[in-house]
Amino acid sequence: MPLVNPSAMLLAAREGKYCVGAFNMVDHLTLRAIIQAAEWKQAPVMIQTSSASVKDLGIPAIVAMTRQEAEDSPVPIALHLDHGTDPEVVRQAIREGYTAVMFDGSQYPFEENIARTRDVVQAAHAEGVAVEGEIGIVAGVEDDIVVRQDAAIYTTAEEAIEFQRRTGVDFLAAAIGTAHGFYRVEPRLDIDTLRQIAQAVPCPMVIHGGTGLPFEVVRQLVAAGGAKMNVSTQIKQTYIDSLYDYIQANRKQYNPIKLLTHARSALVEMIGQYMEVLGSAGKAGEGVSTSG
Ligand code: 13P
């Protein structure tokens, strides 16, 4: 089916108390693995690209390959720009066929974040594209965005409510202690605040930093109202580790298709497991409205 605007799938997740996985692709192999896992698990899914992938592949190529794969697939697939900080890149993604964009204005003071995010919401909604905003600062490394643990700023429920009301974002990322990348120390999660915000705002909540959280914690975050969870670092780790393993075991074999198929199978397995834990498995038929 055509790429979908993810608003309906995330509202269905919020309503049904499960969570849609948003997985970062880095190339065609990871894109196909994410979609194959979604088909296997009959799950709605969001494909995301970081700014590093946008620089590497270019928006036209990302849109073309994702559109093609989505057209050929029976499950609902959205294409989302992760952590858009450059307004020009955000505008290009909106123009060229992404069905959702994140505008990450979290480095700006509160009022400026609101004003900049509101501008993006207006431009995106005019094209039928959904918007994720961020309030507070999520720690860790997301490609070229690096935030130290002690520089993370937790979101308060009051700020989140005001931010959502004044910007009109379709889904909202709040900093509640998860971090991008691997956890070097155990994260200090503020699950109560997530629950309060999720109950108070009319839009679905997004959890960043899905890699490295014990599955029991993932379930608690979903129960507290997380409707979209981002997973990026685990994709890269599984991808690279599976390539190393295969090459080590088959050092004299020169068959790239076998090598890449091995990596894709490992990714499908790992992503499918996330879909089970998030509760999105079996939900492909819910909340579909197409655009793009
Ligand atoms: P991880 O890299 O920790 O999975 O976080 C991904 C993320 O939140 C992307 O925005």
Distance, CA of 244 to CA of 238 (rounded, Å): 10
Site of tokens 């989505």:
70
Q: Is the CB of 142 under 6 A from ligand 1?
A: yes
What amino acid positions are annotated as catalytic residues?
A: 82
25 within 8 A of 31, measured Cβ to Cβ? yes
pLDDT at 291: 47
The values of phi and psi at residue 147, to 5°, are -130, 120
Distance, CA of 1 to CA of 79 (rounded, Å): 13
What's the CA-to-centroid distance between 231 and ligand 1, angstroms?
5
Give the lowest-confidence range in 34-43, 87-96, 104-113, 257-266: 104-113
pLDDT in tens, 132-153: 999 987 777 777 667 766 666 7
pLDDT in tens, 173-221: 988 888 898 888 888 899 999 999 999 999 999 999 999 999 999 999 9
Please name the residues in contact with 265: beta carbons below 8 A apart, sequence gap of 6 or more: 242
What's the CA-to-centroid distance between 249 and ligand 1, angstroms?
30
Mean pLDDT of the 33-44 span: 98
Q: What is the number of the ligand 1 atom nearest to the C-alpha of 235?
A: 4
Distance, CA of 281 to CA of 94 (rounded, Å): 29
What's the CA-to-centroid distance between 152 and ligand 1, angstroms?
15
Beta bridge partners of 46: 22, 78
What's the CA-to-centroid distance between 19 and ligand 1, angstroms?
15
pLDDT at 289: 65
Report how many domains make up the chain.
Answer: 1
Probe ligand 1: pick from 82, 180, 207, 229, max atoms within 8 Å of CB?
180
Q: Is the CB of 230 under 6 A from ligand 1?
A: yes
- For the cut 50, the answer to whether the pLDDT of residue 292 exceeds it is no
Domain-located, residue 58: yes
Task: Please report, for the domain that includes residue 174, its CATH number.
Answer: 3.20.20.70
Mean pLDDT of the 106-117 span: 94
5 within 8 A of 292, measured Cβ to Cβ? yes
Domain-located, residue 251: yes
Q: What's the whole-number average pLDDT of the chain?
A: 94
pLDDT at 144: 67
166 within 8 A of 114, measured Cβ to Cβ? yes
Domain-located, residue 287: no
Q: Is the CB of 195 under 6 A from ligand 1?
A: no
Distances (CA, A) of 217 to 31, 50, 191, 202, 224: 26, 25, 10, 24, 10
Q: Tell me the two tokens of residue 103.
A: 């505008």
Q: Is the CB of 181 under 6 A from ligand 1?
A: yes
- How much of the chain exceeds pLDDT 70, in percent? 96
* 139-142: strand order across its sheet: 145-147, 139-142, 179-180
Tell me the residue range of the domain where 88 lies: 7-278
Please name the residues in contact with 215: beta carbons below 8 A apart, sequence gap of 6 or more: 277
Mean pLDDT of the 121-132 span: 98
Please indicate, yes or no, whether the overall pTM of this predicted structure exceeds 0.85: yes
Domain-located, residue 291: no
Q: What is the number of the ligand 1 atom nearest to the C-alpha of 178?
A: 3
Domain-located, residue 286: no
Domain-located, residue 288: no
Probe ligand 1: pick from 138, 211, 278, max atoms within 8 Å of CB?
211
H or E element, residue 77: strand 77-84
| DSSP code string of 194-240 | HHHHHHHSSS-EEE---TT--HHHHHHHHHTTEEEEEE-HHHHHHHH
55 sits in the region (left: phi over 0; alpha: psi -120 to 50; else beta) called: alpha
Distance, CA of 95 to CA of 111 (rounded, Å): 26
Domain-located, residue 274: yes
Give the lowest-confidence range in 5-14, 21-30, 184-193: 184-193
Mean pLDDT of the 103-131 span: 96
45 within 8 A of 268, measured Cβ to Cβ? no
Residue 162 burial (10 A CB sphere; 0-12, 13-18, 19+): middle
pLDDT in tens, 237-253: 999 999 999 999 999 99
What's the CA-to-centroid distance between 250 and ligand 1, angstroms?
32
SS3 37: helix
Mean pLDDT of the 221-243 span: 98
Of all protein residues, the one whose alpha carbon is nearest to atom 8 of ligand 1 is 208
Domain-located, residue 81: yes
